[in-house]
Structure 1
Amino acid sequence: MRGKHHAETIIVGGGVIGCAIACELAARGHDVLLVERARIAGGTSCAAAGMLGADSEEFTHAVMAKLARQSRVLLHEQEERISSLSGVEVGLQQHGFITPFRSYSEVSSYKNNRSSTLSEEPIWWDRVSVQQEAPWLNRDTYGAYYRPSESEVLPVNLTQAYVRSAQAMGARVMEGVQDVHLHTDVNGVQGIETSLGTMTSRNVIIATGLHGEELMRQVGLSSPVLPVKGEIAAVQFSPHHVGYRPDKTVYAEDIYIVPKANGEVWLGATSLPGRTDTKVSVQGIQKLLTAATSWVPGMKDAHFLRAWAGVRPSTPDGLPYVGACESVPGLFAAFGHYRNGILLSAITGSLMADLIYGKTSEELGIQDLSPNRMNRKEILQ
């Protein structure tokens, strides 16, 4: 309804990051209002594969590797509570990830290109072990690394579990809130002006993914977001082909194959920098199906269910914007997580709540994620 609303903290953005922040703040008894321009989990979060690949993902920055591992642990700890509060099963599964190779040279190249941010060494499976542990993989597979700690969730379910848990703990949520403009004065942020009226607050957290750059620009801050389109397909194995169905995630160089708790197997993802449309191309899906079948031959007998696309928010330096905006008191940013929004959702919620309650980025060890960092670089140049 149109009118004037007030909250201690307003979160702009109803994706997995905004919903995780709302859940954490509400759990601490904070007065929070979350506003979403369309519908909850309607953007990038609904197009993710939901992998919690803290060790499989190649993080070149130590702080990202650390936060990813912390977030995976934290999400596992949260799962039972948010599922109970929300009535939504998040589909959390921990069957581990397999990174397969076709030859010794592929293994050598992979090892040489990995950074030193790994938390633990993976388990090596030779050809015989691969056939014993993953008989559904191509029998020509030379070997594979297995990471048993890796897990995955249903991304939309996780987002809904966060937001409904937040509501159960007192948070307010408004969808269809468009034309958001930051309301600031000499003292800092005072709230937002929207299509539904004025909303006042002491703090505003920008968690709008691709649209975060626009809001930051309103207060003179440069926080570039680069769109990267990705396509995903879902297939399902019939009961008499169950032996050919992967029971662990395949995290290969050319594809990931993710068996989900709902019985589907998701195949992803293409990477198209600069594309902002969400149309699914024949070429993209053909590429995914070809790669998936080369690793899992039984895939050719699976039933095609559907395909979808989303646009991920990347940043020039590969780091998300997480922290307080130094030049505008009360304004905070939490966007630009690229392909790791689901993985980093739990820790981002915790970090943002800590910041709202007075901790500094230096205390939390996240100063490299400062939303002001691009402005500093521009000044230096």
Structure 2
Amino acid sequence: MSEEVRSRSRSGSLYRTGTAYSSQIRGEIRGKLHAETIVVGGGVIGCAIAYELASQGKEVILVERSRIAGGTSCAAAGMLASDSEEFHSPVLTKLAHESKALLHQQTEHISALSGIDIGLQQHGFITPFRQENEMNNYRDKRSGDLTTEHVWWDRSILQHRAPWISEEAHGALYRPSESEVLPVNLARAYARAAQTLGAKVIEGVQNVRLNVDANRVQGVDTSIGMMTCKHVIIAAGLQGGELIKQAGLNLPVLPVKGEIAAVRFADHDTGYRPDKTVYADNVYIVPKANGEVWIGATSLPGRSDHIVTVKGIQQLLASAASWVPGIGQAQYLRAWAGVRPSTPDGLPYIGACESIPGLYTAFGHYRNGILLSAITGRLMANLIGGHTSEELGIEELCPERLSRKEIMQ
């Protein structure tokens, strides 16, 4: 994080604790550990929520145990693949399209407030095929998802529009409206914009525990003291399930590890560098605004470590080079791993915990946290503002839905 992001904003504040936390920091926040809403979790979801609440003039404190975008958000590829992704739920499909549109609308505003470029690019996604029958099968399978905007390219058009693609490609589906961002920049831009609008963002807050009495949530106890509030929103990704257990609720979170690699093409190799995202069945190749090309991602259910394996990266690079041969000549930069928070039914926990007034959740977004960040922030702000899940059309995402199913069974 840059020094600009660390500094105090015009209205809000970012505080860093850890070893640097001392009487000076304590003095800054003494007597200010109260807000209408406390958001727990400084990933892209929590930061988007803080931004939306602050935009509506709400008093909000965002607490993060390490650093902003230090968890799953820093390991995402940043694709806004609302058309390319296969959603098994109509509500997720709807929210994905709304979220992408909303994020495009927000970009100028959050960039102006934060001074951070989120790296938004809209060059479209290509889904390539090696054989005609593969292309036809995909066309039949996804026929209900395709619109007149989507374009089928035969081999000659594909080679003309994407000369860097493998000559073995038979054709491709081009989705021109698909876009992507730099995920860490997006999370930090949300956080900084929220600060500028008056929110307090506190990093390095350890030992967060929910303070719940017989009637409702009262706040959170933390390593820097008690924070009181009217609403608590748990947006802590993988840690969300553990935090919510403190209130006696069981919202399972299933870890799914993924590995990503980054390469860079030399300036004279521009003809071999992809200028559109390749969204294939076994790999995605994403040219980023910072000049890098990101290649991902492995999927390892049940794994929660951050070890980058040789096997995983070899598979990714081999798959990527089979579609974009020039990758074999690119400069290898680095590789990293992250853990995505999934749920048993594949739906995120978004909404109010009806059994505990004042307690809300927004976690379990699996591989679509970046894509769904904007709409999740808007939904949570609307819930805090008094709307119901039914009014917002998200009752299917109710946090306590799995418990209800168990009771009904």
Q: TM-score range by the shorter chain?
A: over 0.9
User: In the alignment, which residue of structure 2 is the partner of 1:177?
Assistant: 205
What amino acid is aligned across from residue 72 of structure 1 in structure 2? K
User: For structure 1, which segment, 49-58 or 100-109, has the greater mean C-alpha deviation from structure 2 after superposition?
Assistant: 100-109
Deviations 1:294-315 (A, max 9, x none): 0001111100000000000001
User: In the alignment, which residue of structure 1 is the partner of 2:329?
Assistant: 301
Tell me if structure 1 keeps the 8 A contact 2:253–2:342: yes
1: CA distance, partners of 2:304 / 2:359 = 27
Q: Deviation of residue 109 (structure 1)?
A: 3.0
Q: Deviation of residue 349 (structure 1)?
A: 0.4
Summarize the Cα distance change of 1:115–1:170 in structure 2 as closer, same or farther, 3 Å threshold. farther
2: CA distance, partners of 1:262 / 1:194 = 37
Q: Deviation of residue 240 (structure 1)?
A: 1.3
User: In the alignment, which residue of structure 1 is the partner of 2:306?
Assistant: 278
Tell me if structure 2 keeps the 8 A contact 1:62–1:117: no
Q: Does the alignment pair 1:288 with 2:316?
A: yes
Alignment RMSD (CA, Å) = 1.2
Query: Could you tell me the TM-score, scaled by structure 2's length?
Result: 0.91
Q: How many residues align?
A: 381
Q: Does the alignment pair 1:264 with 2:284?
A: no
User: In the alignment, which residue of structure 2 is the partner of 1:51?
Assistant: 79
Q: Which runs of 5 or more residues in structure 2 are unaligned?
A: 1-24
Deviations 1:12-65 (A, max 9, x none): 000000000000100110000000011110000000000000000001111101
User: For structure 1, which segment, 115-124 or 245-254, has the greater mean C-alpha deviation from structure 2 after superposition?
Assistant: 115-124
Q: Please show how residues 84-233 of structure 1 align to structure 2 within 5 Å.
A: 84-114=112-142, 116-117=144-145, 122-233=150-261
Q: Deviation of residue 112 (structure 1)?
A: 4.2
SS in structure 2 of the partner of residue 71 of structure 1:
helix
Q: Deviation of residue 117 (structure 1)?
A: 5.0
2: CA distance, partners of 1:47 / 1:36 = 17
Q: Deviation of residue 114 (structure 1)?
A: 3.3
Tell me if structure 2 keeps the 8 A contact 1:65–1:118: no
Deviations 1:95-136 (A, max 9, x none): 000000000221233234438455666210001110111010
What amino acid is aligned across from residue 219 of structure 1 in structure 2? A
Summarize the Cα distance change of 1:168–1:120 in structure 2 as closer, same or farther, 3 Å threshold. farther
What amino acid is aligned across from residue 160 of structure 2 in structure 1? Q
Summarize the Cα distance change of 1:212–1:118 in structure 2 as closer, same or farther, 3 Å threshold. farther
User: In the alignment, which residue of structure 2 is the partner of 1:67?
Assistant: 95
Tell me if structure 1 keeps the 8 A contact 2:54–2:194: yes
User: For structure 1, which segment, 147-156 or 179-188, has the greater mean C-alpha deviation from structure 2 after superposition?
Assistant: 179-188
What amino acid is aligned across from residue 307 of structure 1 in structure 2? A
Q: Which runs of 5 or more residues in structure 1 are unaligned?
A: none
What amino acid is aligned across from residue 340 of structure 2 in structure 1? R
What amino acid is aligned across from residue 91 of structure 2 in structure 1? V
Tell me if structure 2 keeps the 8 A contact 1:58–1:115: no
SS in structure 1 of the partner of residue 105 of structure 2:
helix
Percentage of matched positions with identical amino acids:
67
SS in structure 1 of the partner of residue 308 of structure 2:
coil
Deviations 1:70-118 (A, max 9, x none): 0000000000111111000000000000000000221233234438455
Q: Deviation of residue 267 (structure 1)?
A: 0.2
Summarize the Cα distance change of 1:370–1:117 in structure 2 as closer, same or farther, 3 Å threshold. farther
2: CA distance, partners of 1:119 / 1:127 = 21
1: CA distance, partners of 2:64 / 2:192 = 14
List structure 1 runs of 4+ shifted beyond 3 angstroms: 1-4, 111-121
SS in structure 2 of the partner of residue 216 of structure 1:
helix
User: In the alignment, which residue of structure 2 is the partner of 1:31?
Assistant: 59
2: CA distance, partners of 1:336 / 1:144 = 32
Selected match of 1:370 from 365, 375, 398: 398
Tell me if structure 1 keeps the 8 A contact 2:149–2:176: no
User: In the alignment, which residue of structure 2 is the partner of 1:354?
Assistant: 382
2: CA distance, partners of 1:121 / 1:245 = 25
Q: Deviation of residue 363 (structure 1)?
A: 0.4
2: CA distance, partners of 1:117 / 1:108 = 14
